[in-house]
Structure 1
Amino acid sequence: MISAYACGPGDEPEAAAGWAFALAASTFCDVVVVTRRRFEGAISSALAARPELAQSLRVIYLDRHPALVALKRGQAGIYWYYVLWQRSLRRLVSRLHEQLPFDVVHHVTFANDWLPCGLVGATSAPLVWGPVGGASASPVRLARWLGVRGSITELVREAITRPLRRLWGDRAAREASVVVAQNHDVARRFAPVTAHAVVEANASILSDDLAAGAASSAAPNLVGPRRAVFVGRLISWKGARIAIAAMADLQDWTFDIYGEGYDRGYLERQVRRLGITDRVRFRGHRPRTEVLAALAEADALVFPSMHDQAGWVAAEASALGCPVVCLPFGGPPVLADVNAHVVSLERDLPAALARTVAALPRGRGERSHRWDAGRLPRFLEQTYDRACATSAVAEERPGRRRVPRPARAQRR
């Protein structure tokens, strides 16, 4: 049984991850997915195109009362509605488990490790929690690059998420047979409360998407000015301010910035103040195929995000052979894989970033296949086997009350 608050084919990374995990699990076992009705159209179209999936994949749609759905507006609405949805999920899964006992229950999305998991205590089946993230935090010494608004946001975020992570995250980690962490920061955070943690991001890259992006791009630049790109929301902790400051020292580089956000006005003023308006262009929010094409022909993705948990763009860039220059925090160094160029945390961070970019060799990096969607069936089968084995060992511990669990279903 897979709990996926977001699940469905399309361009939404969280929903695409939920759908990819569900499809992967359905290749070796029967799967029940619980998600929200907003994804019904996309899922129905996908199932109609592949009717054979109905033999191993069943989708149940769950929503709270329409009045509550209507009230869910803005960023804050996402969180309180998610908490209520998890409560409904727990009741639903408990009933389903009585009718059709599950061998494993798996929480896939939302990937926040400080929010409740409705599968905790819902069944006697082993729980796989994740991929989850959130425990990565911006170091205090980088506060100057956050600005006033960004610094306040980070302080509020820490004040809210830290106690909730102890309340809900630690409980889920203790109950889980396997914790799947988005990155090493998250794995270290939950190491004291779980003995069974693995690092695996929720990135799931389809080769067809990359092929479409690469096909529309020009050949890699081997002569003349070199080109770097930034892709992400223009909010302070994504690090665009650091990247722009570094560009002032990179006279033979141009810099294209893809994305929108509250920090754009500041960034534009920063570019004018540094006198690099001729080399820095703001592209705004663009279609995904256009962004992939930009990555396919760029000399580097400059992505100095301060606490990105996963950051799919680093995985997509690496899959296209684009070097990724990033900070040693959160998910980007993991997702960039063989194409990661990690910046040392020196006092003059923009200068260190500029040196790392300048040292990149011309030409493309190695195209990474680490995050191809095709890896997921094997990973999930191994993870579910481990969860069942871990649960069986735990039930045999002296003094532990054994909860009867149905025999494992026969695989197809």
Structure 2
Amino acid sequence: MNILISAYGCSPVRGSEYGIGWNVVKQIAKDHSHKCWVLTNTTDQSQIEQELANSPLDNVTFIFVAMSEGSRNSGLSHYLYYIAWQIRAFFVAKKLQDEIGFDLVHHVTYQNSWLPTSIGWLDVPFIWNGGAKDKIPSVLLKTLSLQSAMMERIRMVSMNALGRFTQWSVASRAQLILSREASQWSDNLPVKAFPPFGLNQKDIERLGQLPQRQDEPFRVVSIGRFLGWKGFALGIRAFAQFHREHPTSEYWLIGDGPEKEGLQKLAKELGCGDAVRFWGKLSRDQVLQRMAEVDVLMHPSFHDHWPTVVLEAMASGRPVVCLDIGGPSLMVQEDWGIKVPVDNLSQVINDLDQALLQLAINGEKRISMGLKGRVIVSENWSWEIIGEQMLSLYQEVINS
């Protein structure tokens, strides 16, 4: 089978969307009856080429689609860059189709329901990672900086405007749409609830060897880019309340981004500045090492799709505290984490505080949850399992 993959985000050294792009390609490469061509951005070209030099994928060809520099910033300019890249990638794909003839096309990343991709216009059986249709609950907008709140409003307006166009131009052309929740889509569309997402077996085994932690101080960690919608400000507010009841506790923040200065200021204003440690941006290996030194992952993101860090925490035996919205709400169940409903802001902060307190004072429950999370990841979320399921879907689409 000749397969064309569109993976704007694709990297062997990054997580989330970029890791998804890379790992989907690796799973296809395991079946040597398939040949795979990958359209990707030039952002991680050097890392991809270095990885291929060390571990070749003989049946995979990467095509790096270049765009002009200087327009990849986060926010509106990034969305415009992404759309422009999709248009250029289509013309590259069309030329490849004329030369090769593909049996299947799969748009892998970004997983997004409202930003269009043109790859489905090749008149080849088309699978679309359609993401989900998440909007921030209005009560959470109050926690955002002015700039972040403005960006989220722009995002919501864009979702409504572009979403209609994407429904017509992309969804209607797909033989299969892979989404987090089929219920978010029109009944007449071929949507399947499927997570093209996981951890590789090596990482699962590595994280599974981390010992359960019972020493003081009790440590909470949040990991990600410091953007408003990631919810770090909400996390600090909840931790500040928890810290007053558990004054030896610590909150580690791993990452960097435009909200960092505001987060540092907020921690000081709430009286927990000395207990909140900003580690900066760390490599993925360093992040996994830090998991051994914490007790709980707090992931207060407002609209994450499939956050890799949640699986990494589960695999390392650390319970996850998250909001009961978005992808984490499907990944986390009561046996291995605590989900907080979103009704109003004070309720969310209080419930996050109580979740942390519950895990801090009940070490036996914390350890039991952690062990259950490890089992869930090993049995359901390895890339080897997801890859087999995905290749079966490919065959179903071709056969139909």
Query: TM-score scaled by structure 2?
Result: 0.84
Counterparts of 1:101 and 1:172 in 2: how far apart (Å)? 21
Q: 1:314 Cα shift?
A: 1.0
Contact 1:179 1:196 in 2 (8 A): yes
Aligned: 1:47 with 2:52: yes
Change (3 A) 1:178 1:208: same
Q: 1:121 Cα shift?
A: 1.7
Contact 2:201 2:384 in 1 (8 A): no
Aligned equivalent of 2:327: 331
Contact 1:309 1:330 in 2 (8 A): yes
Q: 1:92 Cα shift?
A: 3.0
Q: How does 1:278-297 map to 2 (within 5 A)?
A: 278-297=274-293
What amino acid sits opposite 1:238 in the alignment? Answer: K
Contact 1:308 1:332 in 2 (8 A): yes
Contact 1:178 1:386 in 2 (8 A): no
Q: How does 1:29-68 map to 2 (within 5 A)?
A: 29-51=34-56, 53-54=57-58, 56-64=59-67
Question: Which sections of structure 1, spanning at least 5 residues, go unmatched?
Answer: 393-412
Change (3 A) 1:44 1:273: closer
Aligned equivalent of 2:197: 203
Aligned equivalent of 2:341: 344
Aligned equivalent of 2:230: 238
Aligned equivalent of 1:111: 111
Change (3 A) 1:345 1:63: closer
What amino acid sits opposite 1:81 in the alignment? Answer: Y
Q: 1:104 Cα shift?
A: 1.1
Identity of aligned residues (%): 27
Work out which of the residue numbers 181, 184, 188 in structure 2 matches 1:189: 184
Contact 2:40 2:62 in 1 (8 A): yes
Contact 1:105 1:127 in 2 (8 A): yes
**SS of the residue 1:74 aligns to:** coil
Contact 2:174 2:190 in 1 (8 A): no
Larger radius of gyration: 1
What amino acid sits opposite 1:116 in the alignment? Answer: P
**SS of the residue 1:70 aligns to:** coil
Number of aligned residue pairs: 376
**SS of the residue 1:302 aligns to:** strand
Contact 2:148 2:228 in 1 (8 A): yes
Contact 1:115 1:169 in 2 (8 A): no
Change (3 A) 1:85 1:153: closer
Aligned equivalent of 1:261: 257
RMSD value, Cα: 2.6
Contact 2:319 2:366 in 1 (8 A): no
What amino acid sits opposite 1:198 in the alignment? Answer: A
Contact 2:5 2:106 in 1 (8 A): yes
Q: CA offsets, 1:66-90, max 9 Å, x none?
A: xxx2343423443333323322332
Q: How does 1:247-396 map to 2 (within 5 A)?
A: 247-250=239-242, 251-252=245-246, 253-336=249-332, 339-347=336-344, 348-360=347-359, 361-363=365-367, 364-366=370-372, 367=374, 368-369=377-378, 370-389=380-399, 392=400
What amino acid sits opposite 1:344 in the alignment? Answer: P
Q: CA offsets, 1:106-128, max 9 Å, x none?
A: 001122322221212212x2110
Q: 1:346 Cα shift?
A: 4.3
Change (3 A) 1:324 1:170: farther
Counterparts of 2:371 and 2:64 in 1: how far apart (Å)? 42
Q: How does 1:22-101 map to 2 (within 5 A)?
A: 22-28=25-31, 29-51=34-56, 53-54=57-58, 56-64=59-67, 69-75=68-74, 76-101=76-101
Aligned equivalent of 1:396: none
**SS of the residue 1:326 aligns to:** strand
Aligned equivalent of 1:398: none
Aligned equivalent of 1:11: 14
Contact 1:210 1:292 in 2 (8 A): no
Counterparts of 2:18 and 2:153 in 1: how far apart (Å)? 29
Q: 1:210 Cα shift?
A: 5.6
Change (3 A) 1:224 1:8: closer
Question: Which sections of structure 2, spanning at least 5 residues, go unmatched?
Answer: 360-364
Counterparts of 1:23 and 1:89 in 2: how far apart (Å)? 21
Q: CA offsets, 1:17-38, max 9 Å, x none?
A: 2121112112232222222345
Aligned equivalent of 1:127: 126
Q: CA offsets, 1:277-306, max 9 Å, x none?
A: 343222222232222222234221011111
Counterparts of 1:331 and 1:320 in 2: how far apart (Å)? 19
Q: 1:331 Cα shift?
A: 1.4
Change (3 A) 1:277 1:133: same
Q: How does 1:129-144 map to 2 (within 5 A)?
A: 129-130=128-129, 132-133=130-131, 135-144=133-142
